[in-house]
Chain A
Amino acid sequence: MIANYGYKDGSGEYYISIDTDKCIDCAAGRACLTACPKQMFETLTDDYDDEVVWIKQASRRSLAYECADCKPSGGYTSLPCMTACTPGALKHSW
């Protein structure tokens, strides 16, 4: 399942997508949990009883602001969460 966390408002679309099929039995030792400077990720057992990762409730509604530090307007080459997730479960929509 693809879980898209985030929102769209007047200024744009900000979603972080998690491919839960790649997230179950994480081969990266849940590296995303510590890689994110805002510690947005946490593990949970989902509705289908799989252990996966999601974005904490409080962070979902302000993703543009939370991720701002990792996305300076001058540009960036990589994001710590994407680098940490070697199974490639994460995607940013912006």
Chain B
Amino acid sequence: MITAGIDMGSRTVKVVFLEELNVAGAPQLKWGVKGKHIMFPDELDMDVAAEKAFADGMLAAGITRDQVSYVVSTGAGRKQVKFATGDVTEVSAGARGAVFMCPTAQTVVDVGAEEGRGVKANAEGKVVDFAGNEKCAAGAGAFAESMARALQMNLKEFGEASLRSERTIPMNAQCTVFAESEVVSLIHSATPKEDIAKSVLDAVASRVCAMVRRVGIEGDVILIGGMVNNPGFVKSLKTSLGIAHINLPDMPEYISALGAALIAADSKT
């Protein structure tokens, strides 16, 4: 029995297929991420993009539509997935997926392109509390992306550059648009790119951290979402939170989709 989770993010679609294996009477979930990460093609609407991602995913996984029992959608565009059997918020999906990957985690930090949030979860991956800064690009990945562009680097180079700096320059601007000009004037005044990169990532980390502290930091902390791939951000976040260790799952962008697939499997039992 295969269930599917589809995360309709603001930038990309992620699909996960989950296969349940029975081993010695105890149900186990073997998760094979047959995910598909498509940038929303400009001509496609969300529902068309969902169909396409799903079809491509099934092809890559070597399964057919009739093998998939339940599909749960999540993310900003979750209501546009016509073939979904249900939908859940990305808060729930993220928490469920995160705790599955790291069963000791109680504090989930989810930093996507457009929102940064802190979630407190219980041992079953259910949401106890959450606090986020939605609809403001400055508290999420979009901020780092814009500044990386201003420095003419891709995100990978940007993250690596920030690791080479020891200095933070406090940023006056709290808005992505204003911060771009601030970064440009820092460049004009010959500030090293490494220092700028670090300051930008520190700024996002501190904003995310303020949200996490509102739910309280308890137990192990796990970070999910695309920013896991940015070692500079991870370091800034650890410093902001004041902790030595953050769990970083593999394929972090797929965690919410995984959570949705798990919730789909839960619903059938």
- With A10-B134, A11-B135, A62-B174 already in contact, the answer to whether A72 and B216 are too (CB < 8 A) is yes
What residues on A are CB-neighbors of B138 within 8 Å? Answer: 9
Q: Quick one: which of B104-143 are within 8 Å of A by CB?
A: 129-139
Q: Do residues B174 and A71 form an inter-chain contact, with CB atoms below 8 A?
A: no
What residues on B are CB-neighbors of A29 within 8 Å? Answer: none
Out of B131, B134, B172, which one reaches A73, CB within 8 Å?
A: B131
Binds A, one of B23-31, B47-55, B206-214: B206-214
Q: Could you tell me the distance between the alpha carbons of A11 and B134 in the complex, rounded to whole angstroms?
A: 5
By a beta-carbon cutoff of 8 Å, the part of chain A in contact with chain B is 9-11, 58, 61-62, 64-66, 68-69, 71-74
Out of A58, A61, A62, A71, which one reaches B214, CB within 8 Å?
A: A71
What residues on B are CB-neighbors of A72 within 8 Å? Answer: 213-216
What residues on A are CB-neighbors of B133 within 8 Å? Answer: 11, 64
Q: Quick one: which of B188-215 are within 8 Å of A by CB?
A: 206-207, 210-211, 213-215
B182 to chain A, nearest CB (A): 12
What residues on B are CB-neighbors of A74 within 8 Å? Answer: 129, 215-216
What residues on B are CB-neighbors of A68 within 8 Å? Answer: 131, 210-211, 213-214
Chain B interface residue number, banded:
20 to 34
What residues on B are CB-neighbors of A71 within 8 Å? Answer: 214
By a beta-carbon cutoff of 8 Å, the part of chain B in contact with chain A is 129-139, 172, 174-175, 206-207, 210-211, 213-216
Q: Do residues A9 and B136 form an inter-chain contact, with CB atoms below 8 A?
A: yes
B35 to chain A, nearest CB (A): 29
Q: Do residues B135 and A10 form an inter-chain contact, with CB atoms below 8 A?
A: yes
Q: Could you tell me the distance between the alpha carbons of A73 and B107 in the complex, rounded to whole angstroms?
A: 14
B89 to chain A, nearest CB (A): 15
Q: Do residues B136 and A11 form an inter-chain contact, with CB atoms below 8 A?
A: yes
What residues on A are CB-neighbors of B216 within 8 Å? Answer: 72, 74
Q: Could you tell me the distance between the alpha carbons of A69 and B206 in the complex, rounded to whole angstroms?
A: 12
Q: Could you tell me the distance between the alpha carbons of A74 and B215 in the complex, rounded to whole angstroms?
A: 7
Q: Do residues A65 and B207 form an inter-chain contact, with CB atoms below 8 A?
A: yes
What residues on A are CB-neighbors of B206 within 8 Å? Answer: 65
Q: Which residue in chain B gives the minimum CB-CB distance to A71?
A: B214
Q: Which residue in chain B gives the minimum CB-CB distance to A72?
A: B214
B67 to chain A, nearest CB (A): 41
Q: Which residue in chain A gives the minimum CB-CB distance to B115?
A: A11
Q: Do residues B215 and A73 form an inter-chain contact, with CB atoms below 8 A?
A: yes
Q: Could you tell me the distance between the alpha carbons of A71 and B129 in the complex, rounded to whole angstroms?
A: 13
What residues on B are CB-neighbors of A62 within 8 Å? Answer: 174, 207
